[in-house]
Amino acid sequence: MKGQILLVDDEEIVLRSCQRILRGGDYEIDMARDGLTALSMINEKDYDVLVLDIMMPKMDGLEVLRRVKEARPEIEVVMITGLNEIGTAVKAMKLGAFDYLPKPFEPEDLRLLIARAFDRRNRLLGAHELDDGAAESYHFENIIGDSEAMQRVFRLIAYCAPTNSTVMLRGESGTGKEVIARAIHYNSLRKDRPFVPVDCTSLTESLLESELFGHVKGSFTGAVSDKKGLFETADGGTLFLDEIGNISLATQAKLLRFIEEREFKAVGDTRVQKVDVRLITATNKDLEGMVAEGEFRDELYYRINIFPIQIPALRDRRDDIPLLATYFLERLNSEAQHKATEISSAAMNLLMNHEWPGNVRELENAVQRAVILAGGDIIRQGHVVNIIDGPQLAETDVPQSSEELKKMKKIARQKSVENVEKQFVLGALRRNGWNVTRAAEETGMQRSNFQALMKKYDIRIRGIDHETEQ
């Protein structure tokens, strides 16, 4: 069955261009010129992926995104944005968008992003056991990392995997917490039963409760039939709650009851259901601080923090960067049209010395971009210079063709914009004593938009030298 894609943009030329780029893939493609039309089409047809422009008449992309995630949270949404809309794109990610693609973009960038969106959708909706080959790929010995920090993680996986103990994975975004969770599951006695991942950030409170516990027909507006919840789906297997720190206090209470009693009620149902589910949670938040502030139930915290595993940030295991980069390179060579078999020493040096605020996920994306830019056998320094505020290009890394020059100029322009944005935020914070509210007011920005830029550049208020922190 072909994948269903809906392209939404008020510019006909953009729609037709995206359609041509994706033509030939295993997709059926529909198009809409505005958000209201798109919402109507989504009500009539089951789409897998939505490609959505941010700036549109009648209804902007953020509002469309909100409504789609409320009604059809399983649809993966890719945002298209201009360079001056990056802050808005970051906000879209918080609302549940899968990723964003800045204009102008290369055809291969769109193809790869759509392929990744379909892969994520298939993983999330599958909610059942993988075949033997897939399960083997999550064996903890196949997780990339030779550093001492990762060896410690491997040892902890080996200890807890054969048990039914509840596990909490701690670590920054992009460190691979879901990969670790899968490794625990597929090395447990539950490996032949479902592994069910749940992204708690992408669902509203009401939708999250319905997704977890299910609902009966007529329990709320839009509940046109009974729906089995993910706890029931995961019966006998493992339920992975990613970013558990984002769930409401009310849902926390219901989750606590399940952990204590191993039973639950579907929304609108009076019947009690019992299931056998192992729980793995993950967070990048300070749950202890949230408990102290009354934002997270202490009883729930103690119930889920039985076996904590801290996943190291990539900057804390730099020795693993060459292994990871090579792994991503080899995998991409089997997927992409462009081939690259080697990363030059100068390019690898840049990768080794970057701070990687987005961790392993950011490194993977950087290697993807570098493969596209290289267009040949070797990834050189110039192909990865866009990820750092880095040194001048070596003579061997200057563009070798007009096409390569065009691509590198585009990257340089984007990097220049990013550097200006970063210095703009840091300057405002310094002038206002690192007070976010005052800094936002001085610049004429909404506090939420100012904070989105802070998050984009990993600028955090800790009472230390913020430039050295970056």
The model's pLDDT over 38-91, given as tens digits with 9 standing for 90+, comes to 999 998 888 999 999 988 877 888 899 988 887 777 788 998 887 666 677 777
Q: What is the CATH number of domain 318-398?
A: 1.10.8.60
Average pLDDT over residues 149-169: 89
Tokens 């030059």 found at: 344
Q: Where in the chain is the domain with CATH 3.40.50.2300?
A: 3-126
Q: Where in the chain is the domain with CATH 1.10.10?
A: 420-469
The pLDDT of 160-171, averaged and rounded, is: 91
Assign 408 a pLDDT band (cuts: 50, 70, 90). low
Confidence of residue 159 (pLDDT cuts 50, 70, 90): confident
pLDDT tops 50 at residue 325? yes
Percent residues over pLDDT 90 in the chain: 26
Could you tell me which of 66, 50, 95 has the C-alpha nearest to residue 202?
A: 95
Is 90 exceeded by the pLDDT of residue 421? no
Q: What is the pLDDT of residues 130-145, one digit of tens each?
A: 334 444 444 454 588 8
**Mean pLDDT of all residues belonging to the chain:** 80
Give me the pLDDT at residue 141, please: 46
For the chain, residues classed under CATH 3.40.50.300 are 132-312
Q: Which fold has domain 420-469?
A: Arc Repressor Mutant, subunit A (1.10.10)
pLDDT of residue 461: 62
Q: Considering only the top CATH level, what class is 132-312? A: alpha beta
Q: pTM for the whole thing? A: 0.55
List, by residue range, all CATH 1.10.8.60 domains of the chain: 318-398
In this model, does residue 276 exceed pLDDT 80?
yes
* Most confident listed range (230-244, 331-345, 385-399): 230-244
Which CATH homologous superfamily contains domain 3-126? Response regulator (3.40.50.2300)
Cβ neighbors of 220 (< 8 A, separation 6 or more) are: 206, 210, 267, 268
- The predicted structure's pLDDT at residue 317: 93
What was the pLDDT predicted at 268? 67
Residue 410 CA to residue 105 CA, distance in Å, equals: 9
Per-residue pLDDT of 248-264, as tens digits, reads 898 899 889 888 888 87
